Structure 1
């Protein structure tokens, strides 16, 4: 509807049984119209309008409070630095796969949602996936990318990995998931089950590095060699870096000048 393709939009809404909410279509149109008329360019306006500034600060505050609540500190210090990164990812993949298999199986026996006990079980496994995710991919995905990116590309590498690996893929599934569930129903879960088994688990098992209690400098060695090229393999022995020919020559000139 936002791109003036109302017929296509109505077909999608019909597939997900949107007709059960008779006023929803009108509400969507009103919301889109309001958004188009109210959207303003630039960043500065968010801070200049008092009510907008207050609401923006609410959004920032809840994110700040999430970090200052201590949750991430406890998780990183008392969990990740003890069990590592690979193990939670591998166990999380197994757990989520099993939960999705159970969810798909339950939904296949409760297509119309009329069996109350199966509906409760279905909700349970959905929450179970969220819980497992919170102890595996949820936090580790952010920790791991920051650790494995070498210094020269850390900022841009993290931005690229987040933009492509997270937001782009998330946007794709946000667009297709409701359509897929409307078309093939519970079978859509099998897409993620197969991907977990065939791709995610093997890639993590064979290729991901364990960075637990490894310094950012020594993480370079997990990938073969020092990223800077001039650093020794062991920073704790000898000099902190090997001087390049140009640097050696400069030092000699400095010594000669000092003696003169």
Structure 2
């Protein structure tokens, strides 16, 4: 009996996680460019703070759409080809967002039409993010052995955070030593266009990876599925896994979304809602602005953002090392408690107008708690709790809900901050407490179970 082919498993995981890297890159690139977009388009057209928030968050509209159609694409053209579509969308968005005047507008002249075109290209990238956010963890979950599935899916979150860290460095290197005028005219364009390089690499590498064995089995291509499973697990284990897959595909005559009950769908949706309502993407999208509000200069605020990015990477590694040993639920509850402490403290500091190193410390406590728990573990659970027959559509519902929640939280942040900074952070703290209660009461433990074994757990919910 041949041992698992770890090199092959890691190679497939690495390629799939490039979708996560681009997810992180695309969503965080706006953090360095949002003040320039505000100066060039929002203030240039005398628009409101609501228009600013909507423009910063416009990619999320595409994320919602991409998440919503991910199930149709994943079931129709497969997991691999859906990721290839995402790579092309990332590439087009990168070039278009950096040069929205292309073909139709005068460069450097703000108009409402140009604002719409910029938002259009950001939405295109958002569709790519929505697809990658759903299908990258789906791809990994369907090729990963059960005992290491949590770690491998968590690598996707590591790639997301690494992509954010890379773009923080890229934004900082572009802005370093340059005048505000240059950044507002030219620098922000380079920030967006830099994404075209990893997008092209992702598309090329996808050509050489196989489709997932579970998708192939659902399409009746059992020989191809067995071949991939043998390369991953060895011949003897591969036959058993394929047999289990066939049993689950034949276990129910219905593939309706609620064929396994409503509770598992509700759990997937609430995992997604809580991951966003705790406020993490406010910290990611508006990081330089938050640090500037604490008195940091522009270059220093970019550096503090990089520090936060490094913290994110370190604590995502903590999740990778512990998710398959400690389990999903303990990590989620621990992270929720840490996030609540961080956000409530930030709220109190805001109420008393205390600005300084203490604020940075509690932001780091908050983000570290998220990155060791809800950041990766939410994606792990979404990738593994849904049965084979409904996985594509169920993940699409959960991911579309997640991006809708993300859009709501991110686009309302500027207006909420104008009303009450302390109240805004207190709301995120309250959501962190509720998220712990939700996990404790409703979420099943999935550690060490195969995707097929998980169906038995779901049937008992």
Range class of TM-score, shorter chain: 0.5 to 0.7
Distance in 2 (CA, whole Å) between partners of 1:131 and 1:72 is: 6
TM-score (structure 2 length as normaliser):
0.35
How far the C-alpha of 1:203 sits from its partner, in A, is 1.4
Q: Which residue of 2 aligns with 1:237?
A: none
Task: Indicate which of 34, 48, 54 corresponds to 1:10.
Answer: 48
**Is 1:206 matched with 2:206?**
no
Q: Which residue of 2 aligns with 1:81?
A: 324
Q: Using the TM superposition, name which of 199-208 and 72-81 deviates more.
A: 72-81
**Is 1:151 matched with 2:380?**
no
Q: Which residue of 2 aligns with 1:188?
A: 424
Distance in 2 (CA, whole Å) between partners of 1:42 and 1:194 is: 33
Distance in 2 (CA, whole Å) between partners of 1:135 and 1:31 is: 43
How far the C-alpha of 1:189 sits from its partner, in A, is 1.6
Distance in 2 (CA, whole Å) between partners of 1:101 and 1:42 is: 36
Correspondence list, 1:129-140, <5 A: 129-140=366-377
Size of the aligned set, in residue pairs, is 190
Q: Which residue of 2 aligns with 1:179?
A: 415
Correspondence list, 1:96-107, <5 A: 96-107=339-350
Structure 1, unaligned runs of 5 or more: 15-27, 44-51, 65-69, 227-260
Q: Which residue of 2 aligns with 1:58?
A: 198
Distance in 2 (CA, whole Å) between partners of 1:79 and 1:189 is: 29
**Is 1:128 matched with 2:365?**
yes
Instruction: Work out which structure has the larger RCO, using CA pairs closer than 8 Å and 6 or more positions apart in sequence.
Output: 2
**Kept in 1: contact 2:351–2:422 (CA 8 A):** yes
Bigger share in helix: 2
Show CA shifts across 1:2-37 (max 9, x none).
99xx77x436589xxxxxxxxxxxxx9828654546
Distance in 1 (CA, whole Å) between partners of 2:315 and 2:430 is: 31
How far the C-alpha of 1:213 sits from its partner, in A, is 0.6
Distance in 2 (CA, whole Å) between partners of 1:53 and 1:107 is: 36
TM-score (structure 1 length as normaliser):
0.60
Aligned-residue RMSD, C-alpha: 4.1
Distance in 1 (CA, whole Å) between partners of 2:109 and 2:446 is: 49
Structure 2, unaligned runs of 5 or more: 1-37, 53-107, 126-191, 206-312
